[in-house]
Amino acid sequence: MRQQIAAANWKMNLTYQQGEQLLDGILNANIQLAAHQSAVFAVPFPYLVMATQKLSGRNNYFASAQNCSDQKSGAYTGEVAAEMLKSINIRYCVLGHSERREYFFEGNQSLAKKVELCLANDITPIFCCGETLSIREVGAQEGFVETQLMESLFHFTEEDVRKVVIAYEPIWAIGTGKTASVEQAQEMHAHIRGLFAKKYNQATAQHIPILYGGSVKAANAGELFHSPDVDGGLVGGASLNATEFTSIIRALK
Ligand code: PEP
């Protein structure tokens, strides 16, 4: 079975101590993950070492960065390089979250460089894509997401692209309490998988996990994750609550 992933995105929330408490709460639930399941915690940079230490010894629990630089190293004050993440054993990095695209002007070309640097450092990119409400309202969402994938990912070899995780996050559903319907999520996930099949091949398309993000919570995770092309979720708000997030992990296929 394809890898199924419950990924928490803490964004810029929680103090260090609150973060420790939250992880303890989730780990205390003692959920044993199957080989095809993972729980990933995208925490703020200063908490990565703490999170890695807490999660070590638990099968398939990983800390993740929320971003990295599109430069290898050098005079880029305030930036964090993929190589630095590797040096503290980070295995995942969220890239191209819509908040980064909107507030920090990240574009598809810069994201292509970030993906490349992550892959060069054995870090799995969780590559976010998704349309705004106005794009969905005119029915242009499939073409919009296709351009995001084409400009950031489709120049990679089959071997490299298989190392990427996709997170489809319709922007109108992020932090709004509005979730895409199961049908809308499945339709876009199938479309994305189809694009990988067309560009690469069916085996590659079937290999790549595609997570859904946008107001996932305990109450809707089960039905969303049950869809054939939805391989888990990238979760913001509900990942800040131990009870909510443990239920979401339990909802993985
Ligand atoms: C996110 O941060 O990627 C996200 C989907 O947030 P929320 O679950 O709060 O909508």
Rounded Cα distance between 225 and 194, Å, is: 19
CATH number at residue 55: 3.20.20.70
Tens of pLDDT along 179-203? 889 999 999 999 999 999 999 999 9
Rounded to 10 degrees, what is the CA torsion of 237, 243, 249, 253?
-110
**Is 245 part of a structural domain of the chain?**
no
Q: How many angstroms separate the alpha carbon of residue 102 from the centre of ligand 1?
A: 14
User: Could you list the residue range(s) of the whole structural domain that residue 160 is in?
Assistant: 4-26+34-172+199-217+230-238
pLDDT band, very low/low/confident/very high, at 166 (cuts 50, 70, 90): very high
Report the separation in Å between the CA atom of 85 and the middle of ligand 1, taken as the mean of its atom positions: 23
Question: Which atom of ligand 1 lies closest to the CA of 233?
Answer: 5
Residue 193 domain-assigned (yes or no): no
C-alpha angle with apex 249: 103 to 136, nearest 5 degrees?
40
User: Ligand 1 pocket, 175 CB below 6 A?
Assistant: yes
CA separation for the pair 178, 227 (Å, rounded): 18
* SS3 of residue 44 by DSSP: coil
Q: Is the pTM of this model over 0.95?
A: yes
Cα–Cα dist 109/211, whole Å: 22
Q: How many domains does the chain have?
A: 1
Residue 203 lies in a domain: yes
- Kindly name the residue from 131, 169, 189, 244 that is annotated as catalytic: 169
pLDDT tens column, 106-119: 999 999 999 999 99
Active site residue 97: yes
Ligand 1 pocket, residue 48 CB under 6 Å? no
Residue 108's identity, in one-letter code, is N
Any domain includes 247: no
100 Cα to the center of ligand 1, angstroms: 13
Which residues, at least 6 apart from 73, have a Cβ–Cβ distance to it below 8 Å? Answer: 81, 83
